Amino acid sequence: MQETTFKERLNQRPDTALLQREANRIRLSAMTMTHHSGVGHTGGDLSSADILATLYLGGVLNVDTARPAWPQRDRFMMSKGHCAGAFYSTLAARGFFPRAWLGRFMDPLSPLNGHPDRNKLPGIEANTGPLGHGLPIATGAALAARMRGETWRVFVLTGDGELQEGSNWEAAMTAHHYELDNLTVIVDRNRIQQGDFTEKTIRMDPLAAKWLAFGFSVLEIDGHNHEALLDAFSRLPFEKGKPSCIIANTIKGKGVSFAENQPAWHHGVPTVAQLEAAAAELNVELPL
């Protein structure tokens, strides 16, 4: 596989209507997996689906499913590893492993753990789940690329609640110090964490100002708008010599009315009737 730029891949990207359908399929797949296992993180799976679909199915990430360890691949870190349902569904949709494997989510000895494990599945760059670890790992990877003169890029998707972990800001200072403009942080800003709304737990706003103060170039967008996402990714890095931060404003539980903006659905488990209702709202047929 030859290395290509995002602008070159942009010419072959799917239209946004197709990306929306794929994102909704990821949503229902993740809910089906949570129903199967009896545990999961439905709300964050649903809020992050559009971001993941755009990265993997919209031509943003330069990866090779036939060679997951291809040295020149872009690196993606799923820092909010508890949203493994959406992540696994996206990797399967991209072709890293068969969709049929999704039916084994969290079964005994299944490679689809409750949190991503790079030793279990192709396409996973780092083991995540303990929140606040993804950005430090991504910063190290971006620094390694810089030191070796490599051109591949590093992306990390964080939850907003996990930004309460101080390790994120230590990594942010490091990324700014080394001028890592090959690093992009995407914040899934759905404003809900386990138990309550983020602003009732630990106030985070003004979030963009915090990233700016730490030396990042920042863009706020609608994290459910595929055109806005594609446009933002096409502009990277936003400023030469600065790491980039995309604050993707999202809705927890997006696309499923009974789950939207409901803290209880951070880790709610859908019933059969709720799965059927979600399928109807998402316009995706069951079984997947």
162, 128 in Cβ contact below 8 A?
A: no
- Rounded Cα distance, 19 and 136, in Å: 30
- Rounded Cα distance, 78 and 64, in Å: 18
Q: How confident is the model at residue 1 (pLDDT cuts 50, 70, 90)?
A: very low
Residue 244 domain-assigned (yes or no): yes
Is pLDDT above 90 for 14?
no
The CATH number of the domain holding residue 233 is: 3.40.50.970
Residue 206 domain-assigned (yes or no): yes
The separation between the first and the last C-alpha atoms of the chain, rounded to the nearest angstrom, is: 31
What is the arithmetic mean of pLDDT over 157-182? Answer: 97
Smallest Cα–Cα separation from 152: which of 232, 72, 233? Answer: 72
What is the arithmetic mean of pLDDT over 6-34? Answer: 86
Cα-based distances in Å from 224 to 193, 227, 262: 19, 9, 18
Domain that holds residue 166: 14-282
Q: 185 forms bridges with which residues in the sheet?
A: 156, 245
Q: Give the number of domains in the chain.
A: 1
Smallest Cα–Cα separation from 23: which of 283, 286, 287? Answer: 283
Burial class, 59, CB count within 10 angstroms (exposed 0-12 / middle 13-18 / buried 19+): buried
Cα-based distances in Å from 258 to 65, 161, 245, 264, 287: 35, 22, 31, 10, 20
Residue 8 domain-assigned (yes or no): no
Which phi-psi region, left, alpha or beta, contains residue 78 (left: φ > 0; alpha: ψ -120 to 50)? beta
User: What pLDDT sits at residue 4?
Assistant: 61
Burial class, 222, CB count within 10 angstroms (exposed 0-12 / middle 13-18 / buried 19+): middle
Q: 100 forms bridges with which residues in the sheet?
A: none
- Rounded Cα distance, 102 and 110, in Å: 10
User: 114-136 pLDDT, tens per residue?
Assistant: 999 999 999 999 999 878 899 99
Residue 7 domain-assigned (yes or no): no
User: 52-84 pLDDT, tens per residue?
Assistant: 999 999 999 999 999 999 999 999 999 999 999
**pTM of structure:** 0.96
Question: Half-sphere exposure (CA, 13 Å, Cβ side) for 258?
Answer: 14
